[in-house]
Amino acid sequence: MSVDAIHKQLRQFLSCLKPGTLERPLLIAVSGGSDSLALLHAMADIQSDTSLKIQAATIDHSLRTEARAEAEFVHVISDRLNVPHHILTLDWKVGDKKTQASARLHRYRLLAQHAHDIGASIILTGHTFNDQMETCLLRARGGSGWWGLSGMRDIGMVPVWPEGEGLGLARPLLDMSRERLRDFLIERGISWIDDPSNENPAYERVRIRRYLTNEPHVVQEVERMQFELSERRTSIGLHLREWLQSHATWLPGGAIRMDTEACFDLPDAFLERLLMFLLPCVAGRQVTPRRERLHRLFDKFRQDDEKKMATLGGCLIDWSGADFFIVPEINSQDLMPDEITSGVWGGRVSITSQSGESVRIAAWGERKKPEHIDADRIPPLYLRRFLPVQLDDEGEVQSVPHLEHSSLISVQDLSENRMLSWLHPESQFFRG
């Protein structure tokens, strides 16, 4: 493809980012392969005549002896392009399973932490059309539902939590083939590194890649399926966002109250997707519950049982009255004091000590109510047990940041924004 074509596509992508994003550094994840190197070079071109500030990072997975040299290769290229570059080394712990899946998880954690360190709000990757097709077929073989088969988003969330809080993951080349990107590099006389694992048939993705290469008609079928399902995902995501605005209220600490009748008026597929995302957001967890466990919850919904309560995914779910509550469960770790200066507590509340000194934070649990807070401002036990409180040296509640203004501690609930981000329609501006 021509040099101008990739530049045009990337400029179009940049123009669609939310205001303020381009005022901060853009972090590009670069492996040394053709896809990410094409992204790096093209973005460096654009940076040269704009006010963009791009940085690059390469992960040394410590899985192959050549990995460090490959990371150094990217460092040299970045230096020539006047792009700040960091090598992030994955530190495997004793007993860790060194699989591609765990390496991916650790990779995004390192990238997310580095993005926070440099003040970036978005991470760019070189995923291509080929990666999209492979991912869809991999998910199909793994029994994924239609939402998974809708593929990767052009712009989505970093798939780690809470490390990915406040960060976006962008794939601006998702509609371009790997072959076209390599043509771009060849046209400029740029070489790249071929990871030998990309040719190892022991990995299912490699086998699927070869299969798709030999069966172009399958690629067309997968592309059609992925596009139609991504359109459906966008439509349902917008519907659920609007539904939440009309029928839900977010409560202090990340809990949510919804209209019970309105919940059960939703089609099962919509309610299932709503709960699939709500539960980890309320619980502050990284992963969604398994579909089979969610289906068992739906069976309980349909039973004529007086006890209309259940626990799932770190949440207590109560649909016994006019209000449908989902609140975080607390465990022994939540009840133990944690020294915090600034960070995410419980996966759902951002806590900052204004003085810069650490404060002792724990879940309220069944600790006594502080006398300085009026009784009529204190929620019932099931709506306060999970709230973070500041403890004194004796372990008593000193303050409840959610219920009182404090110049010492600020809190921000993360559940609502995380939920809305999950449902946000992906960009479709690459779709011809």
Write the CATH number for 114. 3.40.50.620
Q: Do residues 143 and 256 both lie within one domain?
A: no
In a domain, 228, yes or no: no
Q: Single out the residue in 328, 362, 378 at which a domain terminates.
A: 328
DSSP 3-state assignment of 249?
Answer: strand
Distance (Å, rounded) from C-alpha 432 to C-alpha 421?
25
Which amino acid is located at 263 in the chain? C
Q: Which helix (H) or strand (E) holds 42?
A: helix 34-48
In a domain, 428, yes or no: no
Using 50 as the pLDDT threshold, list the residues of the chain that sit under it.
1, 427-432
8 Å CB contact between 160 and 109: yes
Tell me the whole-structure pTM to 2 decimals.
Answer: 0.91
Q: Single out the residue in 278, 309, 328 at which a domain terminates.
A: 328
8 Å CB contact between 278 and 286: no
DSSP 44-66: HHHHHTSS--EEEEEEE-SSSTT
Q: Do residues 69 and 163 both lie within one domain?
A: yes
Burial of 125 (0-12, 13-18, 19+ CB in 10 A): buried
In a domain, 232, yes or no: no
pLDDT (0 to 100) of residue 424 = 75
pLDDT (0 to 100) of residue 209 = 92
Q: Do residues 131 and 250 both lie within one domain?
A: no
Question: Which of 365, 9, 52 is closest to 176 using CA atoms?
Answer: 9
What is the crossing angle of helices 204-214 and 216-247, to 10°? Answer: 120
DSSP 3-state assignment of 383?
Answer: helix
Which residues lie below 8 Å from residue 292, measured CB to CB, with a gap of 6+?
Answer: none
In a domain, 432, yes or no: no
Q: Do residues 15 and 85 both lie within one domain?
A: yes
Preceding omega of 388 cis (within 30 degrees of 0): no
- What residues are designated binding site for ATP? 31-36
Which amino acid is located at 294 in the chain? L
In a domain, 318, yes or no: yes
Return the DSSP state at 354: T
Q: Do residues 307 and 206 both lie within one domain?
A: no
- Would you state the torsion angle of the CA atoms of residues 173, 175, 177, 183, taken in this order, to the nearest 10 degrees? -50
CATH number of residue 296's parent domain? 3.30.465
Cα Rg of the chain, angstroms: 24
| Predicted confidence (pLDDT) per residue in 3-17, tens digit | 678 899 999 999 888
8 Å CB contact between 52 and 43: yes
* Phi, psi for residue 51 in degrees, rounded to 5: -95, 15
Q: Do residues 317 and 352 both lie within one domain?
A: no
Six token digits for residue 384: 């306060």
Q: Do residues 284 and 376 both lie within one domain?
A: no
In a domain, 35, yes or no: yes
In a domain, 405, yes or no: yes
Helix ranges (H only) for 128-202 are 129-141, 146-149, 178-187
Q: Do residues 290 and 408 both lie within one domain?
A: no
pLDDT (0 to 100) of residue 2 = 61
CA distance to 167, 338, 358, 379, 388, per residue, from 402 (Å):
24, 17, 18, 11, 8
pLDDT (0 to 100) of residue 431 = 33
Q: Do residues 93 and 166 both lie within one domain?
A: yes
Structural domain of 402: 332-413
In a domain, 171, yes or no: yes
Which amino acid is located at 298 in the chain? F
Return the DSSP state at 375: G
Q: Do residues 44 and 74 both lie within one domain?
A: yes
Distance (Å, rounded) from C-alpha 142 to C-alpha 134?
12
* Phi, psi for residue 324 in degrees, rounded to 5: -100, 110
Domain count, the chain: 3
- What residues are designated binding site? 31-36
Q: Do residues 166 and 299 both lie within one domain?
A: no
Distance (Å, rounded) from C-alpha 134 to C-alpha 59?
22
Q: Do residues 157 and 65 both lie within one domain?
A: yes
Helix ranges (H only) for 155-283 are 178-187, 204-214, 216-247, 260-265, 268-283
Burial of 267 (0-12, 13-18, 19+ CB in 10 A): exposed
Question: Which of 66, 116, 110 is closest to 87 using CA atoms?
Answer: 110
Six token digits for residue 101: 């899946």
Distance (Å, rounded) from C-alpha 371 to C-alpha 422?
40
